[in-house]
Amino acid sequence: MSDSSSFTESIKPSTSESVAERAKLGEIDQSVRLPAIVFGLASVFWLMVGTAFALIASIKMHSPDFLGQWEWLTFGRVRTAHLNTVIFGWSTCAGVAVALWLMARLSRTKVRHGGILIIAAVFWNIGLLVGLYGILAGDMNSIEWLEIPGYATPLLFFSYALIGVWVVITFRFRQTKHIYVSQWYLLAALFWFPWLYGIAQIMLVFEPARGTVQALVNWWFAHNVLGLWFTPIGLAAVYYFIPKVLGKPIHSYYLSLVAFWSLALFYNWAGVHHLIGGPVPAWVISAGIVASIMMAFPVIIVAINHHVTMVGNFHVLLYSPTLRFTVFAAMSYTAVSLQGSTMALRSLNEITHFTHYTVGHAHWGMYAWFSMAMFGAFYYIMPRLLQREWPSATLIRVHFWATAVGIIIYIVGLSIGGWIQGLQLNDPDNYPDFIEIVRNTIPWLLSRTFAGFLILVGHVAFAVNFCWILLRPRTEEKTRPTLFKDPEPMKLAAK
């Protein structure tokens, strides 16, 4: 079968599997449909809320008086609200929706008693709403990524327990002997998150550790939430959707397992490099630096696996929304991970630490990598859950270009501005007034706000398309896949 034909067959839900296989997958999708849609809809809601808070916080960076008369909208509260709605709202809800669908599909088994997952979704979002109220009211913890007040945490723990148990049960009843690499990553993420969140809550909130240990635990948690919770879910999606859309297997299953165990071994230590220069034992910092550098090993392996799988098929990016978002995310994962390794070097860290450079790096990881991977997953999953295609390819195109260009401007602007800021702060021979250094960052902060408005346009396009496909009436007629354009010479008209 030609490359064009393989691609065409892989993206058409009506023709990509045999009749018996389609019936089986249809039953699986039916079992996970409502929980996945509930989590997906919640993720879109929090995406829009988080985007609004992000824009307000960004504008305040160069125009401090903006909404200054509102106590609930001071920078400290708005920035914290943005961080938590994006991390625990958009990213977690989107990740759970994708993880549920992937685990059910790869296990070839139906999700049992899916109503429990809907209860979990309700409690998770109630907990997040309560936590957001506490943050905006000023009743928050002063610990990054753990600002949600303690009275909201039990709701989050309860709902996550239901989610984790139900995904593991789905895996337990799998109908396949082979365990796919995506399942490895999903199961690991489901184990790592409660371990990270539970220990951090105990040692920083409920029974706080003392002194330097607090800083160590905080960075161990904050760094590992990205690397051991969101990253495994993102990699599970990339490992699934690139081969699925192309209609070919991943280049090397064994390389993927080497990368998995390397991630598990090294990433756990990497976060403490953020404490270089702090009152922390030197051996702890050195161990963190070594682990950060060693992280280049699994990252390069993943990059080789994905790139070699794509070789000869890059033209498919012209057609497939899922593949375009997924490849953008995979390339961002490689770049931001290697950048993170360099930031662990003492010579670079002394320039970039406490600057806007680190903010650009964080958004490269959470947005350009993880969020773009989730967008690509949604564009593949939703038509199969709802048995109808996306209403508008134009909105998908607007979504991609607005968010891709927006996040590139964001990263480049803050990276350049942060680097200049770091050099000026470290220059003892020609040290300007501190306020002058702050003024010098304003052009780069303006570029950040401009990028934020571009990203907002993309998010509005995505939210409109998402709600549209939910409300769009189902038709019995065969529909064409929502592509940017038809592959040539193969036509996708229904037979």
At 112-146, the pLDDT tens digits run 889 999 999 999 999 999 999 999 999 999 898 89
Distance CA 270, CA 89 (A): 25
End-to-end CA distance of the chain: 18
Mean pLDDT of 448-455: 98
CB count within 10 Å of CB 228 equals: 21
Residue 464 lies inside a defined structural domain of this protein: no
Residues 6+ apart with CB under 8 A from 297: 262, 266
18 pLDDT above the threshold of 80? no
Structure tokens at 301: 């392996």
Q: In angstroms, what CA-CA distances link 188 with 96, 119, 229, 410? A: 13, 23, 8, 31
At 160-188, the pLDDT tens digits run 999 999 999 999 999 988 899 999 999 99
Residue 317 lies inside a defined structural domain of this protein: no
Contact 313, 332 (CB under 8 A): no
Q: In angstroms, what CA-CA distances link 340 with 171, 270, 277, 471? A: 33, 9, 17, 42
SS3 148: coil
> So what's the pLDDT on residue 1?
39
> Half-sphere exposure of 312 toward its Cβ, with a 13 Å CA cutoff?
12
CB count within 10 Å of CB 350 equals: 14
Q: What is the DSSP letter of 110?
A: P
Residue 56 lies inside a defined structural domain of this protein: yes
Q: Give the percent of the chain with pLDDT over 90.
A: 83
Gyration radius of the chain over CA positions: 23
Structure tokens at 436: 């002058």
Mean pLDDT of 35-56: 98
Residue 270 lies inside a defined structural domain of this protein: no
Residue 264 lies inside a defined structural domain of this protein: no
The DSSP result for 137-169, as a single string, is: TT---SSTT--S-TTTHHHHHHHHHHHHHHHHH
CB burial of 353-364 (b: ≥16 within 10 Å; e: otherwise) equals bebbbbbbbbbb
Report which of 140, 160, 168 is spatially closest to residue 92, judged by C-alpha positions: 160
Residue 167 lies inside a defined structural domain of this protein: yes
Contact 482, 395 (CB under 8 A): no
Structure tokens at 395: 């909105």
Distance CA 245, CA 8 (A): 9
Confidence of residue 17 (pLDDT cuts 50, 70, 90): low
Among 282-291, 318-327, 364-373, 426-435, the least confident range: 426-435
> Half-sphere exposure of 25 toward its Cβ, with a 13 Å CA cutoff?
20
Cα angle 315, 317, 321 (rounded to 5 degrees) comes to 150
Contact 360, 445 (CB under 8 A): no
Distance CA 244, CA 262 (A): 25
Q: Which amino acid is at 148?
A: I
Q: Which amino acid is at 303?
A: A
Distance CA 330, CA 306 (A): 8
> So what's the pLDDT on residue 324?
97
Residues 6+ apart with CB under 8 A from 38: 117, 118, 121
The whole domain housing 167 covers 24-178
Report which of 241, 237, 233 is spatially closest to residue 320, judged by C-alpha positions: 241
Structure tokens at 108: 């070839």
Q: State the total domains in the chain.
A: 1
> So what's the pLDDT on residue 489?
43
CB count within 10 Å of CB 347 equals: 7
Residues 6+ apart with CB under 8 A from 291: 266, 267, 268, 269, 270, 273
Residue 158 lies inside a defined structural domain of this protein: yes
Distance CA 146, CA 217 (A): 11
> So what's the pLDDT on residue 25?
85
Mean pLDDT of 208-216: 92
The model's pTM = 0.93
Sign of CA pseudo-dihedral 239, 245, 247, 248:
negative
> So what's the pLDDT on residue 19?
62
Residue 315 lies inside a defined structural domain of this protein: no
Q: Which amino acid is at 229?
A: W
Contact 140, 147 (CB under 8 A): yes
Distance CA 2, CA 59 (A): 51
* CATH code, domain carrying 33: 1.20.120
> So what's the pLDDT on residue 14?
45
Q: Which amino acid is at 374?
A: M
Distance CA 429, CA 426 (A): 9
Residues 6+ apart with CB under 8 A from 401: 458
Structure tokens at 286: 């050195």
